[in-house]
Structure 1
């Protein structure tokens, strides 16, 4: 290990620094070099440095002086923390993930996804990589490594976006001064999203037991997320409106839709029919699977899969309900702005990215039709 450290004396440019506080000393017994300085009236000693998640002893006085120069720069700009120059630093990326995750203001499912994606960049950088020393080059190296490991574009997007979200938190919390430059991050166009036409969708609904059918039909009618319709309570249904004001995250009831907003819809004639067909209950929820309790995701997914199997179709429930509403409207040539508003997307670009290719066939059809329009030849004098 010591030889490896000697060989790395020339790597990264650690800077020259200005006025040097503290000193570099050599242990008379072991011969090891270390940095000693006074900080907050305490004597601090540092025997190792971190490189790519691995801690090495100083191979020479010159190498220790380079690290001391880095420390001096941080002392000068007010960002120095002795803990960051030791293993298990709270600013090490592994430890920081553990600190950050419980403080994120997101639902349980999203926090679980953050944790899953964070494992990838912690593994790449090593648990002791100081978050303040993550550079644009480091991020590009991470991206390249993920691409070479053949992760999907969508997964790479989520891993990098999770890292960016965490580092933004660190900046807001003044744990680091500025966010490193990230490559442009955009959620890959899903393109060719699977969705159902109205006829096939209705065949699937017909295979769902009548007692359970209304919750699926209402979700499809308004293009709502299943967890929002599961959470629909009787106080959110008026004579004229259906109000999406709650959602489930697994079994936890939360306020607002997925974006935290409240959305009201006029009752369509179809919605009135669906609600009228709902089995009566004393529950505060509109839809119950047993007359008492609201549906959970597992029950709905099982009902959906069984119905799809009977029809001979394989499609996720989310696609069969929410995505299908978007696809059906676009096929009927409604503008994408209307679809975006219905689905409650915060930006219309999100709708374009998700459903932009759904109507490509119709665009192609329109272009082809232009070619076969009747062509009237202009007759000029002298033509025969």
Structure 2
């Protein structure tokens, strides 16, 4: 069927759709079908390509493509064909491919100026090359009224689908608010993402892990002691310099974004925390512009190197104690610290939020889980005797 072409590829195996006389265009292996079509008839030696009907709707089915192609042939046979009407009206300034890369270039410029995280912008390039370009190829952004078909063909986890769609929605907001090319944002489906449940390591487990570090790789005791006792972002710990330490106080003012040191934290504000005695006991003394934590010949810790040490020691921990722990360093340190604190002091949620540097309390609650059953169990053990409240089983002086 040379005059009709399906757009996109099979969302499962990414192979091209094949034409079957009985079933139309289809992926033989997974039975998926195209979500868009274009007609490509010839007129006076010129190939005419059109992917929308005359009321501006994208051609979504093979039946609609055949109907439009028959209309073209009928007008041609009756010699009433107005070829200017059939030629694509897509201009470069409205082409999705042109605009999506213009938007990306702005994001890349912001990243180079330190305004956007280096871990975020490269993901946008991945979304564009792997998902957006193939689906919206050759489409005028003014003709995109809904992104539900695009979302439907994404064969990814709910979380990854949401990330792809959130970035695409950001692109359309840019078209509306900054470029003034569209009046309304297309309709997006709501993706339900299961609540994130971080894994937690108890304090005893974390201290036993620290003991293994001291036995096998003592050079790295300072940074792991800090991570376990202070409960903070590993990227900010790696970026600590001597000017951040003053007595029993630490200030977080730098961060590693990707592999680059940047002069601001993730939230773009300086944060001050208390240094616990266990941490102060192992802090090396360095000059103001030297990294606090180094290894080898004074090199700072990279994310990969720190994770390698952690995974290596966690494997030894599992072998020694017969456990099956498998969690990211972030959860083993920061999230475990937060969960332990909030369950011991549920009334101090705001304090923990400031400690973590979260801008919203919902973020703190997401990563520092209050164990409701345990909390009520403790409350149930509190009894009133006369004018005093006591906890059952605990002797008062």
Q: TM-score with structure 2 length normalisation?
A: 0.67
Matched-pair contact (CA < 8 Å) for 2:175–2:182: yes
Aligned equivalent of 2:90: 85
In structure 2, relative to structure 1, the CA distance for the partners of 1:154 and 1:210 (3 Å cut) is same
1:52-106 deviations in Å (ceiling 9; x for gaps)? 699x99753699989959x9xxxxxxxxxx9x716xx454334433332232132
Map 1:237-316 → 2, pairs under 5 A? 237-275=245-283, 278=284, 284-312=290-318, 313-316=325-328
- Residue by residue over 1:230-256, the C-alpha shift from the partner in whole angstroms, topping out at 9 and shown as x without a partner, is 111111222342111111123211122
Give the deviation of 1:124 after TM superposition. Answer: 6.1
Contact 1:230–1:295 (8 Å) recurs in 2: yes
The correspondence for 1:156, drawn from 143, 161, 169, is 161
| CA 125–223 in structure 1, closer or farther in 2 if over 3 Å, else same | same
Is residue 287–residue 295 contact of structure 1 (8 Å, CA) maintained in 2? yes
Match for residue 8 of structure 1?
Answer: none
- Equivalent residue, structure 1, for 2:390: none
Give the match for residue 185 of structure 2: 179
Alignment of 1:52-91 (within 5 A): 60=72, 85=90, 89=92, 91=94
RCO higher in structure (CA 8 A, sep ≥6): 1
Report the counterpart of residue 388 of structure 2 in structure 1: none
Aligned to 1:128: 138
For residue 109 of structure 1, give the secondary structure of its aligned residue in structure 2: coil
Q: 1:223 aligns with which of 231, 237, 247?
A: 231
**Structure 2 counterpart of 1:144, from 152, 156, 166:** 152
Indicate the RMSD between aligned Cα atoms, in angstroms: 4.0
Residue deviations 1:301-356, cap 9 Å, x none? 11111211111133211111111112211332434333322222221122334445
Q: How far, CA to CA, are the matches of 2:266 and 2:357 in structure 1?
A: 9
| Aligned 8 A contact 2:243 2:288 in 1 | no
Q: Unpaired runs of 5+ in structure 2?
A: 6-35, 37-41, 53-57, 111-115, 319-324, 385-397
The answer to whether the 8 Å contact 1:114/1:162 transfers is yes
Q: Distance in 2 between matches of 1:258 and 1:308?
A: 27
Residue 110 (structure 1) shift: 0.9
| Alignment match, 1:326 | 338
Change beyond 3 A, Cα 1:200–1:141: same
Equivalent residue of 1:253, what SS?
strand
**Conserved in 1, the CA contact under 8 Å of 2:96 and 2:139?**
yes
Match of residue 104 from structure 2: 101
Q: CA offset at residue 190 of structure 1?
A: 0.2
1:190 to 179, 189, 196: 196
Pick closer, same or farther for the CA change 1:4–1:198 going to 2, 3 Å. same
CA drift at 1:282: 9.4
